[in-house]
Amino acid sequence: MIVGSILEDINFEKRVAITPDVVKKYKSIGLNICLIKNYGVHLGYKDIDYSKEGAEIVESSEDVISKSDVLVQLNLCNDENLERLKDNQIIIGILNPYSNENKLKKLVSKKINCFSLELLPRITRAQSMDILSSQANLAGYKAVVDSFAYFQKAIPMMMTAAGTISAAKVLIVGAGVAGLQAIATAKRMGAIVYATDVRLASKEQVESLGGKFLTVEGSENLETEGGYAKEASDEFKKKQEDLLKKTLEKIDIVVCTALIPGKKAPIIIKKNMIDGMQSGSIIYDLAAIQGGNTELTKVDEEIKYNGITILGEANLLNKLPGSSSNLYAKNVFNFVNNLYDKDNNNFKINIEDEIIEKTLIK
């Protein structure tokens, strides 16, 4: 059985789904690998690095697709390559079923098995496959580093003979995986860190990292069974707005990470809140691709408003493609390993397995 992968559009997506190290893992369980020529060269992975581990290198995407039983990607392929997929073939990736509903329905009607990894259930057995956590971890780190690079003052407190420089004050909006990593990174660099989240369970995690948790008076725990945030009530939103507006007046850097799977990102920071912020402040919006957590965020644009810089990249992990590919490739291998029936040398779609059932597009 063969697992293949073709190049993404590297203008938008530099990550790859298979690294040379992971080829060894596939070979160890009896699977072969087929890749397009120059698959990882933009990340410093030469074809010889892959072939040394046992991967087959072919000339075209068409060759990879025709040879492969399973195609592993980051994103859904372009229309030309989707047309090349065959009955009973399997495609695995971040397929974004909410935006690609029509394309995926067409594939399902052609008896192509599509697995979207962002739909993985939050259960212990799926942790090693959890692409949202592995990628969000790096995004939280990088958002803080980039924000600090834009900020035109020192981050830690410094006591000098000429006087004291105060530590930068950072607010993390959303204390999921990305938010918690952002808190940890900002604290390591000497900032004073505040955080807010609609899930009360986040309070202990925030405080364990040295952050100060902002609690809305009389707040309820807005957490789904799957561990994600859910939509807040209008009353809660009003209380949160009042607390945030007051807090933002003394904040230097804001990192927004709040997302609701499958929905437009909640607008948490309104324009009137930004009006009260200090000139020179930075807002980094990790939710930009889903609409943004601020009213002023625009994807891939650097917004200047009253001396405040608002940043929101479509794909921040394009700045860390080596590290993010390394983690993503391991996540994907663990998913494929769960899908592969070694005894019968085939891929078994067992819908009684919660991991398979939740990620399979029907």
Beta bridge partner(s), residue 354: none
Lookup result for tokens 């607390």: 243
Distance CA 214, CA 203 (A): 8
DSSP state of 198: S
Q: Where are the alpha helices (DSSP H) in the chain?
A: 20-28, 47-52, 61-67, 79-83, 101-109, 131-150, 177-188, 202-208, 234-248, 271-275, 321-339, 354-359
Active site residue 133: yes
Catalytic residue among 28, 127, 208, 233: 127
Catalytic residue among 89, 133, 181, 325: 133
Distance CA 5, CA 73 (A): 6
Catalytic residue among 49, 63, 150, 228: 228
Report the half-sphere exposure of 351 (CA within 13 A, side-chain side).
4
Number of alpha helices (DSSP H) and beta strands (DSSP E) in the chain: 12, 17
Q: HEC string of 203-240? A: HHHHHHCCCEECCCCCCCCCECCCCCECCCCHHHHHHH
Query: Alpha-carbon Rg of the chain, whole angstroms?
Result: 22
Q: Which two tokens stand for residue 80?
A: 């030309």
Active site residue 328: no
Active site residue 127: yes
Distance CA 159, CA 115 (A): 54
Q: Which two tokens stand for residue 225?
A: 């069974």
Integer angstrom CA distances of residue 53 from 4, 30, 34, 322, 346:
14, 13, 12, 18, 22
Catalytic residue among 84, 122, 150, 278: 122
Integer angstrom CA distances of residue 310 from 283, 304, 322:
5, 7, 26
89: three-class secondary structure by DSSP: coil
Active site residue 228: yes
Catalytic residue among 69, 130, 197, 252: 130
**Residues that are catalytic:** 122, 127, 130, 133, 228
